[in-house]
């Protein structure tokens, strides 16, 4: 049964007629001010603030105009502090204007909109100073983020992981053209499977995309798709004035005419104005006396206002629609609006980046009643008492608690992690074993880890963890195979206490889910430690969503396995090549590729601590299914730190050594075999194992910057870990780098010092085969490494 507790009910309208009238009057004043401030912010950025490169910075005045009514109703009347909102990217100026009225945005930042240090082009949790819930920008991702955040809210609530607080609605303001993005529909299906609730999507149906007009037939199916997955659909089509016209004699014919009007024709008539409406209606409906009377009693200005009185632009209609929803069923509001309403280019198909020129803005400013010099005044041009309006703003429920970003204490991480004792195993198997032992040990750490995977849970070695912790679901359901006593290694029981969220095969959903889980401490006051697994090559399928999650500063660990051509028989479609470069290049994500299981243990321990630090980040572990012999060694604190720092000498070089083999990940056994051979001819050669090319590279770049900025230092104090690692080598030393991935991931080591590199790796697609054959064919085997050493020596003579 849905939870219909008072905390979930929509905002209740004022009790008396006079109170309702007062609220509507004040909201209309705020709507007018929001529309003005958002348009003026964009105009100021383009025509007043100096722009040294002479380029227009955009700002989407047309998109802002269509959402001013809806966002005014939401933020000043409907939303509560526990609600979270993803704002349509191009409505960013509207959001900043509302925050300015709340006192949570400054004039200085608005004046520098889209400039360095100013309000961001699109709402950003990490770059904006005002109260952003979800960053948006890449269309469609912010929409899906609200769905997965709703799931996280229920996860936290059902497990009582945070202090009890009212349940919020996750709200997305959606552009109609965003519904072309496939990730939205992937998310819808996942939401249906997980019984998502407390979710509102408000679609700004202004009929226009970036380049053109939205296809009528395509959008006509939207309501059906939402209803198919169990959503309530509320259509806000006609405003109160048009509804009154429809109630007049022959009004049904006017309604039918608008219903049948193609999007392109309606948009063109909006742009042309009252005379064009009159001509079209006279041509098509002149035979109806009631319609003729409407035309006779409306001049062109009033006729245009009537024909553009859509519900998404009518405050009372918007409030009525929102306030009728009083349960937790996911709801889609389809709000008919006009892109650029009330602006000179309203309705024009080319208006996406349209900007009023100076003369048009001056005329519009006069119409809005804003005196010159008072453009940034919060209440200029409004026919209401400023004190009354300020009191109304201060009493807005959404603003009642100020900034709504929550905090949660860090989860203690043990000083040492489980260390599997298998003499021969893979990093993927070791990862699964470590998580299984954490689950068996219990305690705060095990309680806060939540795992998720896109239908590859078992094949990424999460099976042991899931057997102990179970699958998360709103309602309990036993494993039918287990009930019928069918032997199976996996227990797939569903329970609100479960700690694994099983997703379908959609990597976009995985990364957005990780993003939502990784923000639970700030959104819902509960610290979660999310770990997601997928196959390494398919990071590319969800790369946009991964980038989006990192941009939020969400904190999680993504374990990508199996990786590279080492996957062997699966063939080139499943063998990753460029993934190490993604790990190095992705901001907000620290990547590791361990060779041995004790490295996995050290990195996991570090990662679960690192992602909770204020200056921390998410982690990416690139693992392998290849079993290799494990070194017989103790994981000392010094070795653990070297693993975290990014690398260590598995075989120490002699001082001044001229040859060093540098290996990362699954090819380390080949590098070790090659070192055994090379060291017989070149005594003192070293074997350097890289655990994180990303960490080494970042620290090296940071160290170089610090040295340039420092005024006094000792040489040793300024060295980065990679510089200290390479310091024992001779000036003419050659580095033979090898990894199961693109060679560029390690070839940058040649820029650290005077050493030259001979890089080995994968630059093309793999194919089916076994590991020895593939390594030999693609030049990753020990013979290839030895040949590279010989080449390097020959070139140095």
Instruction: Please write the tens of the pLDDT for every residue from 622-663.
Output: 999 999 999 999 999 999 999 999 999 999 999 999 999 999
Q: What is the pLDDT of residue 4?
A: 40
Q: Is 180 exposed, middle or buried (0-12, 13-18, 19+ CB in 10 A)?
A: middle
Pick the closest to residue 73 from 329, 417, 322, 368 (CA basis): 322
665 within 8 A of 593, measured Cβ to Cβ: yes
Residue-wise pLDDT for 676-705, tens only, equals: 999 988 889 999 999 999 999 999 999 999
Residue 493's φ and ψ, nearest 5 degrees, are -85, 140
Query: Closest Cα partner for 381 from 373, 370, 372?
Result: 370
Which pLDDT score, from 0 to 100, does residue 6 have? Answer: 37
User: Helices 637-645 & 693-709, crossing angle to 10 degrees?
Assistant: 80
What integer pLDDT is reported at residue 640 of this predicted model? 97
Write out the H or E segment, with its range, that includes residue 375: none
Query: What is the dihedral sign for C-alpha 748, 749, 750, 756?
Result: negative
Share of the chain above pLDDT 70, in %: 92
**Percent of the chain topping pLDDT 90:** 76
Greatest alpha-carbon pair distance for the chain in Å reads: 104
Q: Is it the case that residue 122 has pLDDT exceeding 70?
A: yes
* 167-184 confidence digits (pLDDT tens): 999 999 998 888 888 999
User: 335-339, 341-345, 456-460, 717-721: which range is least confident on average?
Assistant: 341-345
Strand partners, 234: 333
Do 643 and 603 contact (CB within 8 A), yes or no? yes
Bond prior to 562 in cis (omega within 30° of 0) = yes
Report the range of poorest mean pLDDT among 62-76, 414-428, 443-457, 761-775: 62-76
Residue 714 has pLDDT above 50, yes or no: no
The lowest-confidence range among 236-250, 463-477, 483-497, 705-719 is 705-719
Which tens digit of pLDDT belongs to each residue from 242-257? 999 999 999 999 999 9
Cβ–Cβ under 8 Å, residues 533 and 556: no
Question: What's the whole-number mean pLDDT along residues 212-232?
Answer: 78
Paired tokens of 598:
């004790």
Beta bridge partner(s), residue 259:
none
CA torsion angle 482 487 489 494 (round to 10): -10
pLDDT of amino acid 487: 61
What is the average pLDDT value for the chain, to the nearest integer?
91
> Are the CB atoms for 47 and 361 separated by under 8 Å?
yes
Residue 233 forms beta bridges with which residues? 332
Q: Which of the four pLDDT bands, split at 50, 70 and 90, describes residue 709?
A: confident
Residue 3 has pLDDT above 50, yes or no: no
What lies within 8 Å, CB to CB, of 711 at 6+ separation is: none
Listed range (398-412, 445-459, 723-737) with the worst mean pLDDT: 398-412
For residue 723, name the pLDDT band (cuts at 50, 70, 90): very high
Per the model's pLDDT, the better-predicted residue between 189 and 486 turns out to be 189
Token pair in block for residue 654: 């002699």
pLDDT of residue 683: 87
Inform me whether the pLDDT recorded for 722 exceeds 90: yes
On the question of pLDDT at 419 being above 60, the answer is yes
What single DSSP character describes residue 729? S
Q: Does residue 8 have a pLDDT over 50?
A: no
Would you state the structure tokens that stand for residue 242, as one six-digit string? Answer: 């048009």
User: Are 340 and 346 a contacting pair, CB within 8 Å?
Assistant: yes
Q: Mean pLDDT throughout 723-733?
A: 95
**pLDDT confidence bin for 55, thresholds 50/70/90:** low
First to last CA, the chain: 79
Between CA 797 and CA 793 the distance in angstroms is: 7
pLDDT computed for residue 230 by the predictor: 95
Rounded to an integer, the average pLDDT of 559-567 is: 96
Candidates 232, 213, 203; CA nearest to 312 is 203
- DSSP category for residue 213: B
């Amino acid at each position: 049964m849905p939870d219909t507790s008072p905390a979930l009910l929509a905002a209740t309208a004022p009790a008396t007629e006079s109170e309702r009238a007062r609220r509507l009057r004040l909201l209309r004043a705020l709507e007018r001010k929001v529309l003005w401030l958002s348009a003026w912010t964009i105009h100021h950025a383009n025509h007043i603030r100096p722009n040294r490169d002479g380029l227009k910075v955009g700002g989407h005045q047309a998109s802002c105009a269509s959402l001013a009514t809806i966002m005014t109703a939401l933020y000043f009347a409907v939303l509560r502090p526990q609600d979270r909102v993803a704002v349509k990217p191009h409505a960013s100026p509207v959001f900043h204007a509302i925050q300015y009225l709340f006192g949570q945005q400054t004039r200085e930042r608005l004046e520098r909109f889209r400039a360095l240090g100013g309000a961001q082009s699109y709402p950003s949790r990490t770059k904006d100073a005002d109260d952003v819930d979800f960053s948006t920008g890449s269309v469609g991702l912010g929409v899906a983020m609200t769905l997965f955040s709703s799931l996280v809210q229920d996860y936290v609530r059902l497990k009582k992981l945070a202090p009890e607080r009212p349940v919020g609605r996750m709200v997305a303001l959606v552009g109609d053209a965003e519904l072309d993005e496939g990730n939205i529909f992937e998310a819808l299906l996942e939401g249906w499977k997980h019984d998502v609730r407390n979710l509102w999507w408000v679609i700004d149906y202004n009929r226009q995309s970036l380049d053109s007009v939205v296809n009528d037939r395509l959008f006509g199916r939207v309501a059906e798709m939402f209803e198919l997955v169990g959503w309530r659909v509320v259509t806000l089509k006609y405003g109160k004035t048009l509804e009154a016209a429809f109630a007049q004699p022959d009004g049904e014919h006017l309604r039918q005419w608008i219903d049948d009007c193609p999007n392109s024709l309606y948009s063109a008539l909006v742009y042309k104005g009252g005379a064009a409406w009159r001509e079209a209606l006279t041509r098509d409906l002149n035979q109806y006396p009631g319609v003729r009377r409407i035309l006779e009693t409306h001049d062109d200005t009033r006729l245009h206002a009537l024909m553009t009185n859509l519900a998404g632009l009518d405050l009372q209609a918007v409030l009525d629609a929102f306030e009728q929803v009083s349960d937790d069923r996911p709801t889609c509001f389809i709000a008919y609006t006009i892109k650029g309403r009330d602006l000179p280019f309203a309705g024009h198909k080319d208006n996406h980046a349209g900007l009023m020129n100076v003369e048009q803005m001056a005329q519009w400013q006069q119409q809005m009643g804003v005196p010159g010099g008072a453009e940034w005044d919060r209440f200029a041009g409004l026919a209401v008492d400023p004190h009354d309006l300020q009191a109304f703003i201060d009493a807005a429920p959404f603003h009642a608690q100020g900034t709504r970003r929550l905090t949660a204490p860090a989860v203690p991480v043990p000083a040492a992690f489980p260390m599997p004792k298998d003499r021969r195993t893979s990093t993927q198997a070791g990862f699964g074993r470590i998580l299984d032992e954490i689950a068996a040990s219990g305690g705060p750490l095990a309680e806060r880890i939540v795992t998720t995977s896109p239908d590859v849970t078992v094949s990424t070695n999460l099976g042991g963890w899931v057997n102990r912790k179970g699958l998360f679901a709103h309602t309990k359901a036993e494993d039918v195979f287990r009930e019928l006593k069918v032997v199976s290694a996996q227990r797939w029981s569903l329970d609100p206490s479960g700690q694994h969220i099983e997703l379908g095969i959609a990597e976009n959903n995985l990364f957005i889910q990780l993003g939502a889980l990784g923000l639970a401490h700030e959104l819902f006051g509960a610290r979660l430690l999310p770990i997601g697994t997928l196959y390494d090559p398919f990071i590319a399928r969800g790369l946009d969503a991964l980038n989006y999650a990192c941009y939020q500063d969400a904190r999680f660990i993504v374990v990508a396995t199996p990786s590279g051509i080492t996957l062997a028989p699966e063939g080139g479609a499943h063998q990753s090549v460029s993934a190490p470069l993604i790990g190095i290049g992705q901001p907000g994500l620290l990547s590791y590729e361990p060779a041995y299981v004790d490295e996995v243990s050290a990195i996991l321990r570090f990662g679960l601590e690192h992602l909770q630090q204020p200056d921390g980040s998410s982690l990416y572990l690139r693992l392998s299914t290849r079993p290799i012999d494990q070194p017989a060694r103790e994981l000392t604190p010094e070795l653990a730190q070297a693993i975290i720092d990014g690398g260590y000498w598995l075989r120490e070089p002699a001082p001044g050594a001229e040859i060093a083999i540098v290996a990362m990940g699954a090819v380390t056994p080949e590098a070790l075999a090659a070192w055994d051979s090379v060291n017989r001819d070149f005594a003192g050669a070293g074997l350097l194992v890289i655990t994180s090319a990303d960490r080494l590279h970042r620290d090296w770049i940071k160290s170089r910057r610090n040295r340039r900025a420092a005024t006094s230092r000792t040489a040793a104090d300024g060295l980065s870990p990679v510089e200290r690692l390479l310091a024992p080598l001779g000036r003419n030393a050659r580095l033979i780098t090898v990894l199961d991935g693109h060679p560029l991931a390690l070839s940058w080591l040649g820029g650290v010092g005077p050493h030259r590199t001979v890089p080995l790796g994968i630059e093309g697609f793999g194919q089916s085969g076994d590991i020895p054959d593939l390594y030999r064919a693609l030049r990753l085997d020990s013979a290839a490494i030895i040949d590279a050493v010989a080449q390097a020596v020959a070139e140095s003579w």
